[in-house]
């Protein structure tokens, strides 16, 4: 539970935010922080190829199921997401297209890894820490805006120069609470990532504007 964020949300946020939406956002925050800031073990190229192939098959099966259900029935799926969308306005075809594209990319990745000759021990890849942090903050911003129907902002304290908006507090407390014990990220670094991610508020998959700023 993100206690500081919850207290600030009650104090400054809209009264329409449900407890269920807050719990889902806390769950997503924990999952995303551990996914992006945790250390992953090296995986052999042959294992990667197998996992990508399974991913592609699973996604294609999911897409077939979505086609069988049809747009009207699929909207029930989005109702369960607790997102602050108007469900009737959701175009399910965009989500089906996205799943199809990811399946296609997974198939390509499986083919590439089948041909990969370099061993896992020789591989020193992985995204740099700053990129992981930026991607994490972007996804946290997405969940914040979608579940709470509040437009994320970034405001600085006049004396300390540290971000103090409701979203700033949420991102920092989530990272401090859920990151591995050996991972410490300065507030300044998180603020930089938030500033970098702010334009993503207006990406097509976000809720349209006219949201309260927090």
Q: Is residue 120 part of a domain?
A: no
pTM of the model: 0.62
Same domain for 94 and 51:
yes
Split into its structural domains, the chain has a count of 2
pLDDT at residue number 213: 53
Q: Classify residue 92 as left (phi > 0), alpha (psi -120 to 50) or beta.
A: alpha
4-59 pLDDT, tens digit per residue, is 998 888 887 787 788 888 899 999 999 999 999 987 666 777 888 888 899 999 99
**Cα–Cα distance for residue pair 151/142, rounded to 1 Å:** 10
Same domain flag for 63 and 169: no
Domain that holds residue 98: 45-115
Q: In the structure encoding, which two tokens stand for residue 75, read together?
A: 């909207």
Long-range Cβ pairs for the range 156-160 (8 Å, 24+): 156/191
Please report whether residue 28 resides in a domain.
Answer: yes
Distance CA 206, CA 1 (A): 25
Tokens of 35: 């996914």
* Residue 53 shares a structural domain with residue 108: yes
Q: What are the C-alpha distances in Å from 49 to residues 54, 106, 162, 176?
A: 9, 9, 44, 34
In the predicted structure, residue 121 carries a pLDDT above the cut 50: no
> Which of 65, 83, 115 lies at the terminal end of a domain, its last residue?
115
Residue 85: what pLDDT? Answer: 55
Phi, psi of 151 (to 5 degrees): -75, 120
């Amino acid at each position: 539970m993100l206690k500081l964020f919850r207290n600030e949300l009650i104090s400054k946020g809209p009264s329409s935010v449900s407890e269920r939406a807050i719990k889902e956002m806390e769950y997503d925050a924990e999952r995303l922080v551990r996914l992006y800031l945790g250390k992953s073990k090296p995986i052999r190229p042959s294992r990667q190829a197998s996992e990508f192939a399974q991913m592609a098959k699973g996604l294609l099966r999911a897409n077939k199921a979505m086609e069988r259900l049809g747009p009207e029935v699929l909207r029930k799926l989005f109702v369960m997401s607790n997102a602050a969308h108007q469900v009737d306005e959701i175009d399910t075809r965009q989500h089906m297209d996205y799943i199809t594209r990811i399946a296609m990319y997974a198939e390509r990745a499986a083919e590439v890894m089948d041909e990969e000759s370099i061993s896992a021990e020789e591989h020193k890849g992985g995204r740099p820490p700053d990129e992981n942090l930026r991607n994490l903050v972007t996804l946290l911003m997405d969940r914040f805006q979608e579940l709470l129907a509040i437009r994320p902002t970034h405001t600085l304290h006049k004396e300390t120069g540290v971000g103090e908006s409701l979203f700033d507090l949420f991102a920092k407390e989530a990272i401090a609470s859920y990151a591995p014990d050996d991972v410490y990220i300065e507030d300044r670094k998180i603020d930089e990532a938030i500033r970098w991610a702010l334009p993503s508020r207006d990406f097509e998959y976000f809720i349209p504007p006219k949201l309260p700023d927090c």
